Amino acid sequence: MDYRHFRNIIFDLGGVLVRLDFEAARKAFARLGMGNALATDMPEEIAQLFERLGRGLCSTHDFCEQLRNFTGSSATDADIEAAADTMLRELPDRKKARLLALKAQGHHLFLLSNTFDMHWDYCVKHLFNYQGYSVDDYFDQVFLSQRMHLQKPDAEIFRQALAQAGLQAADTLFIDDLEANCQAAERLGITTFRNKDFDDWLALDL
């Protein structure tokens, strides 16, 4: 498919820009005595806690407090945030350079992510810096689930992102690694590209 006519591009964060390392995070939580926090068979109450955090229905402190209650760990909020941030492995320079090049070509770039404030703060501080550039140099606007109180693949998060950015669905390309998110965007008339492997989108002719 020819994607060159799209001037508006919405990027996902994890799995598209930032490489994720779930195993590193599992090990980090285990060292805190929270070994079931990211287990594939995590208790339902912990899964719901992550869901509430992702939708901004509890604060980071409340999340940490409830996680301590569920696991019996005495880890501090800072310990828990640091463990969670080990999931964020890297944002390669080649991707930051490509984003800047797309901006220079006249593209309008946006970020739409199911993420937590602690993850986003870590990315802003440690991952987006590149040759004097910072996160504000890459994106026109950033849309985060915890702040919007919505999550992909809910249709409403796409509708609000389009409305707030002043975009038309037909003029917009959305890049995400999850099929469900792409399908949700497509139902609203947004063209999508599923980033199955980490560097796939770099090969697109944009």
Q: Tell me, what's the pLDDT at 39?
A: 79
Cα–Cα distance between 104 and 136 in angstroms, integer?
Answer: 14
Q: Domains plus CATH for the chain?
A: 8-19+90-203 (3.40.50.1000), 22-85 (1.10.150)
Cα–Cα distance between 172 and 10 in angstroms, integer?
Answer: 7
Q: Tell me, what's the pLDDT at 72?
A: 93
Q: What pLDDT, in 10s, does the model give residues 14-33?
A: 999 999 999 999 999 999 99
Cα–Cα distance between 133 and 129 in angstroms, integer?
Answer: 6
Average pLDDT score, the chain: 96
Cα–Cα distance between 145 and 150 in angstroms, integer?
Answer: 5
pTM: 0.96
Is the CB of residue 90 less than 8 Å from the CB of residue 20? no
Is the CB of residue 54 less than 8 Å from the CB of residue 116? yes
How crowded is residue 158: how many other Cβ atoms within 10 Å of its Cβ?
26
Under 8 Å CB-to-CB from 61, ≥6 apart: which residues? Answer: 77
Q: Tell me, what's the pLDDT at 78?
A: 98
Grouping H, G, I as helix, E, B as strand and the rest as coil, residue 179 is helix
Q: Tell me, what's the pLDDT at 95?
A: 98
